[in-house]
Amino acid sequence: MKVNCNIDIKHLTRVEGHGSIQIRIEDGKVRKANWEVVETPRFFEAMLVGKHYENAPYICGRICGICSIGHTLASIRAIENGFEFTPSEQTGKLRILLKHMETLQSHILHLYFLAAPDFLGVGSVLPLVDTHPEVVQAALRLKLLANDMCDEVGGRRLHPTRTVVGGFTMLPDKYQLKNFQQRLKDSLADLTASADLFATFVIPVFQRETEFVSLKGEGDYPFIGGRLVSTDGVIKEEHEYRAMSNEYMADWSTSKLSRLSRKSLAVGALARLNNNFNGLGPPAREISEKLGLTPVNHNPFMNNVAQLVECVQVVMQSIEIIDTLLDTPWQEPKQRLEVKEGIGVGAVEVPRGILYHCLEFDKEGRIKKADCVIPTSQNHANIHHDIEDLAEWCVEQGKNDKEIELIAEMLVRAYDPCISCSVH
């Protein structure tokens, strides 16, 4: 039987923001296969113009409710780089700890609340409360731990209050850090159980050759700053981010789009893992191998698995960071810095991929120009081309329209898109 379908999903559910999928197949011929971004733009880059630099982290955090910590840190890094200021070691450690907990919080939210329901054949996490109570409880425990730690280190889990240019307004309590370290250790059991659960999920065997872009590790698994790399062999410095993201517009999207060596590129957990697999600690690596994820993997659905691997990685790293923080006496939370005319770029790996903020200042530190390149906007073109290939793949596999609809939705969800962020 020839495959026929006409799918028109307006405002896809269980993703952040507004996007639509259209697939039309007639007699086994793909007539249309689109990913469309309809989100309303908010114009953050314009809002910042004329504002004093201290506004940037505060305002930019509001680009995204899920990765507000990442945006705040990217703005701070852009400013500090622009003023040629290097934060103290203590500040660096606290920032990465905070970043890790955002990654954990966001990945768990995505894996359990947004992605898992598809694999378990339900429409949301709600039915799982009754059918899989232990799964829901584990997810809530992990998310609570990550969020509680964000409160302790960043002041607030969403739109942090302690993170400022030069450092922190206030330091966490060491006694609390010690407790959190114990909770982190305990959480490994929940993560192992999560890995066992995900091992039972049937992941579509769909592949499309893709160029993956992320920060470049120097023997580590990087999250804040450094050089940029792609699986096609491109290497750039942080301040050359424009050469890596090459933003352009197209009529099917209110978000900007990106490309590098090919017609599209991908960023995110899978990209990070593909580029920096050797920087993973042994426990994360082991889980990755066990779940069949080794570089370079070109199956976009494996981004879910990569996120799970990263959960283990950030938990292990956080345990170590807390050890060094507990071993050293607290220094001043914040350093003064001198305002300089110039441009600064901050590249940060946020849950959905690499994020760049670029700010240009006048000599009083007022912002003359701002540019934010969001992970999901870098992914949109890749999602679009994946949908095209996925439609062909579904024809080959002889899928019916219900199956095609579900698998297309699952594909987009696997990218964990943050669409309001991408349009900002």
Binding site for ligand SF4 (CB under 6 A): 62, 65
Spell 258-283 as b/e; 16+ CB within 10 A means b. Answer: bbbeeebbbbbbbbbbbbbbebbeeb
Query: Under the criterion CB under 8 A, does residue 14 sit at the interface with another protein?
Result: yes
Query: Under the criterion CB under 8 A, does residue 47 sit at the interface with another protein?
Result: yes
Q: Distance between CA 261 and CA 267 in Å, rounded?
A: 14
Query: Under the criterion CB under 8 A, does residue 331 sit at the interface with another protein?
Result: no
Per-residue contact string for residues 169-208; x = within reach of another protein by CB under 8 A:
xx--------------------------------------
Q: Distance between CA 158 and CA 215 in Å, rounded?
A: 24
Contact 301, 210 (CB under 8 A): no
Minimal distance, residue 63 CB to ligand SF4, in Å: 9
Query: Under the criterion CB under 8 A, does residue 51 sit at the interface with another protein?
Result: yes
Q: Distance between CA 303 and CA 286 in Å, rounded?
A: 17
Q: Minimal CA–CA distance to 349: which of 294, 404, 270, 414?
A: 270
Residue 404, CA distances (Å) to 3, 118, 310 in order: 10, 13, 29
Single out the residue of 7, 36, 68, 284 in contact with another protein (rule: CB under 8 A): 68
In this structure, what are the phi and psi dihedrals at residue 137, rounded to the nearest 5 degrees? -60, -40
Residue 336's contacts (CB-CB under 8 Å, 6 or more residues apart) are 166
Q: Which stretch binds another protein (CB under 8 A): 29-37, 117-125, 183-191, 289-297?
A: 117-125
Single out the residue of 30, 69, 109, 197 in contact with another protein (rule: CB under 8 A): 109
- Nearer to ligand SF4 (CB atom), residue 170 or residue 339: 170
Is the N-terminal amide bond of 296 cis, ω within 30° of 0? yes
Rg (CA), the chain: 21
Minimal distance, residue 339 CB to another protein, in Å: 14
Query: Under the criterion CB under 8 A, does residue 43 sit at the interface with another protein?
Result: yes
- Nearer to ligand SF4 (CB atom), residue 154 or residue 300: 154
Report 249-268 residues binding another protein (CB under 8 A). Answer: 249, 254
Query: Under the criterion CB under 8 A, does residue 76 sit at the interface with another protein?
Result: no
Which parts of this chain interact with another protein (CB under 8 A)?
A: 11, 13-17, 40-47, 49, 51-52, 54-55, 58-59, 62-66, 68, 109, 113-114, 117, 123-126, 129, 140-141, 143-144, 147, 155-159, 161-162, 164, 169-170, 249, 254, 420-421
